[in-house]
Amino acid sequence: MAAVVDEQQVLRRRGVFRRPSATTGAWSWFTTVDHKRIGKLYGYTSFAFFLLGGIEALLIRLQLARPNGQVLSADVYNQIFTMHGITMIFLVVMPMSGAFFNYLVPLMLGARDVAFPRLNAFSYWVFLGGGLFLYSGIFLGGLPDGGWVGYAPLSTQNIAVHRMDFYALGLLILGISSTVSAINFAVTIINMRAPGMSLMRMPVFVWMTLVVSFLLIFALPVLTIGLVELFFDRQFQTTFFQAAQGAQGDPILWQHLFWLFGHPEVYILILPAMGIVSEVLPVFSRKPLFGYPVVVFSGIAIGFMGWGVWAHHMFVTGLGPVANSAFALSTMFIAVPTGVKIFNWLATLWRGDIRLQTPMLFSLGFIAMFTIGGLSGVTHAVVPADYQQSDTYYIVGHLHYVLFGGSIFGLFSGFYYWWPKFFGRMLSEGLGKLHFWLMIIGFNLTFGPFHILGLQGMPRRIYRYEEGLGFDFWNLVSTVGAFMIALSIAVFIFNVVRAHRRDEPAPEDPWDARTLEWTTTSPPPAHNFDEIPVVRSLDDFWHRKYAEGQDGRLAPVVAGGADAQGAVAVRRDDAGHGNDSGSGDGSGGHGGHGIHMPSPSYFPLLAALGLPVLAFGLLYSTFLVADGVLLLLLGLYGWAMEPSAE
């Protein structure tokens, strides 16, 4: 690694700051601008939040296991279920997808880093600051308690405590992080592709990242304004969302702004997982993805149509028959590109040489669970049926089938698939399969009964229910299922710890993969590729390994073919520069020699620190506001004046 930072580097003093140069050691994580390390930071942080959100879920299930639950008070329950939703959406699925974007997109494109490495570090630190800010309420009068959707008047009342102020400001901070990172990835994908990597040769995962980036760029500002107006209502006595006591505001405006962000957000949460599944299925079926352009275009279509369906979250507010019909229709239409994708995945499997390894199991689980969630979603499009389902556990069941059965299964598929790439270690297949079966059974036990409970009329967000309403049995089943999911996560953690204790290096290309990230070492050197690859086709790495013979059967191109040595041989062959270091490790031999990578920097962290300080200042003291602004400006100015690499 040291070679990458470069021997000719001179440490220059800049005022009191000396440019950090370490690329190893604990401190280097604070100053890193390497997309792979930032990806890991996103991964570690979001997994920690995943455990936190999971504990909140278990508390909810404990409380609801029996009638008249005594575990939590109503007040604590409100905070717990609100934070469970916020955590899982903003602090788990979004940043965990971000971890995959960060780590994989440059590798899949054949690039050395993202377009703006320091901005990337800034996004991460802002995300961490926003997450901690949201949870800081635990010491300051309570956590947000108005539901993750923050509907007025629940969000605008009770201004004596700052709970929903933490919600408004925390989500504002997280929104800045996501917007900045989305711009970064959109530019990276549009502009940083290796020679020959045309748009229609990009892996589907990269395509989905691009669609998600545009959704974030356009959806978040709408939430931003909603949150600013909410904050004004709470702190400056405006009445944007308040209609009580003669105030002229309109609580429905919040719902429009929130869902105009919120429905694209649903696709922001699911499209990355769809991308992962689209990478995993072809590898484990040993077939190209069926109808690649159709999968890409239906992803884009979902991205566009996702803007025209938001009011289906609001049928019960009484929008009138015209609006209801229009949004019901658009909602049914958006099921079409989604269905197209599912059929393409199934066709990819059709007559494939299927290997049921753990990543594949999770991807298949994704397809099955997401299909159930998608179908229950279409039932909400039927307005009269939606009147019946709104605010019941049926909705909760639906959203968990798409966000847990969909997104989380997809993300775990990605973990198992790319773990050897991220860490150079294989996760155990046996434990992985145990994890999968525990999780899918636990998942269905937990969330399947929600549909029944919902149709029986159990409202969501209640902290307690009476005995004899017919809710007892299925709630208990659901709680048992929730603990089974918890057990499956424990198996996953054990699997990870075990793999890293054993210290057996993973093969270079363990799955016989198809995309560029597998052409470099695992984990890749800081500069990713010794030679920037030249791309000749979709699934380029596969075509370097295999050619179709006369009889239509695949034949390995180079002796050795699919095994690790073969993969390395192919890479060397293609590079044509006679890298004879023999280690295949970029830091040895000529690898990495003379390649300038962006230098580490303090300033993204410094600037990012300014935001939570500023937010605390808005709640507690103008003095802190000044401090926050100062930190932000100092960070940004230092950043602007500092060259990206020295």
575 binds another protein (CB under 8 A): no
Window contacting another protein (CB under 8 A); options: 72-80, 220-228, 465-473, 624-632: 220-228
- Binding string, 62-101, against another protein, x = CB under 8 A? ----------------------------------------
Tokens of 419: 């773990």
In the chain the first and final C-alpha atoms are separated, in Å, by 16
Residue in 338, 407, 519, 520 annotated catalytic: 338
Please say whether the beta carbons of 424 and 464 come within 8 A: no
The C-alpha atoms of residue 509 and residue 202 are separated, in whole angstroms, by 19
Range in contact with another protein (rule: CB under 8 A) among 11-19, 229-237, 266-274, 411-419: 229-237
Contacts of 637 (CB under 8 A, 6+ apart): none
State the Rg of the chain over Cα: 25
Q: How far apart, in Å, are the Cα atoms of 152 and each of 229, 232, 495?
A: 11, 13, 44
Q: Which position among 35, 37, 84, 435 bears the catalytic label?
A: 84
Segment lying near another protein (by CB under 8 A), choices 37-45, 120-128, 266-274, 526-534: 526-534
| Contact between 574 and another protein per CB under 8 A | no
> How far is the C-alpha of 38 from the C-alpha of 205, rounded, in Å?
19
Check if 379 is active-site.
Answer: no
- Closer CB to another protein, 145 or 530, in the complex: 530
DSSP, collapsed to helix, strand or coil, labels residue 598 as coil
Q: Rule CB under 8 A: is residue 184 a binding residue for another protein?
A: yes
* Least distance between another protein and beta carbon 363 (Å): 30
Instruction: Give the amino acid at 105.
Output: V
Q: Is 213 annotated in the active site?
A: no
The secondary element (H helix, E strand) that includes residue 555 is: strand 554-556
Instruction: Tell me whether residue 338 or residue 599 sits nearer to another protein (CB atom).
Output: 599
Select from 602, 593, 644 the least CA-distant residue to 2.
Answer: 593
Of 43, 95, 226, 448, which one interacts with another protein (CB under 8 A)? 226
Question: How many whole angstroms separate alpha carbon 106 and alpha carbon 95?
Answer: 17
268-287: contacts with another protein (CB under 8 A): none
335 neighbors 374 (Cβ within 8 angstroms)? yes
Q: Which of 35, 36, 40, 193 binds another protein (CB under 8 A)?
A: 193
Among 50, 167, 240, 415, binds another protein (CB under 8 A): 240
| Cβ burial 391-415 (10 Å sphere, 16+ → b, else e) | ebbbbbbbbbbbbbbbbbbbbbbbb
H or E element, residue 134: helix 117-136
Of 532, 624, 625, 634, the one binding another protein by CB under 8 A: 532
At 369, list the tokens. 């669970």
Active site residue 37: no
Q: Under the criterion CB under 8 A, does residue 151 sit at the interface with another protein?
A: no
Phi-psi region of 391 (alpha: psi -120 to 50; beta: other; left: phi over 0): left
- Give yes or no: 398 in active site: no
Let me know if 501 is a catalytic residue: no
Residue 460: active-site member: yes
CA dihedral 500, 501, 503, 508 (to 10 degrees): -20
Q: Which of 256, 263, 451, 571 is catalytic?
A: 263
Q: According to CB under 8 A, which one of 1, 62, 217, 323 is a site residue for another protein?
A: 217
Size of the site for another protein (CB under 8 A): 56
* Active-site residue flag, 177: yes
Asked if 302 is part of the footprint of another protein (rule: CB under 8 A), the reply reads no
Q: Which of residues 96-115 bind another protein (CB under 8 A)?
A: 111-113, 115
Token pair in block for residue 203? 């892996």
Considering only residues 242 through 261, tell me which ones interact with another protein, judged by CB under 8 A. Answer: 246-250, 253, 257, 260
The active-site residue out of 32, 178, 413, 479 is 178
Binders of another protein in range 356-375 (CB under 8 A): none
Nearer to another protein, 116 or 148 (CB): 116
How far is the C-alpha of 259 from the C-alpha of 502, rounded, in Å? 47
Residues 334, 285: contact at Cβ < 8 Å? no
- For the beta carbon of residue 332, count every other beta carbon within 10 angstroms: 14
Among 73, 191, 537, 583, binds another protein (CB under 8 A): 191
Phi-psi region of 262 (alpha: psi -120 to 50; beta: other; left: phi over 0): alpha
* CB 420, CB 426: distance < 8 Å: yes
User: Which residue in 59, 154, 228, 575 binds another protein (CB under 8 A)?
Assistant: 228
Nearer to another protein, 183 or 334 (CB): 183
Instruction: Identify which range of 158-166, 232-240, 514-522, 568-576 contacts another protein by CB under 8 A.
Output: 232-240
Query: If binding is defined by CB under 8 A, does position 594 make contact with another protein?
Result: yes
Nearest to 442 by CA among 402, 484, 405: 484
| 263 in catalytic set | yes
Residues that bind another protein (CB under 8 A): 111-113, 115-116, 179, 182-184, 186-187, 190-195, 197, 217-222, 224-226, 228-229, 232, 236-240, 246-250, 253, 257, 260, 531-532, 534, 594-596, 598, 640-641, 643-646
List the catalytic residues. Answer: 84, 113, 148, 177-178, 263, 265, 267, 278, 312-313, 338, 341, 460
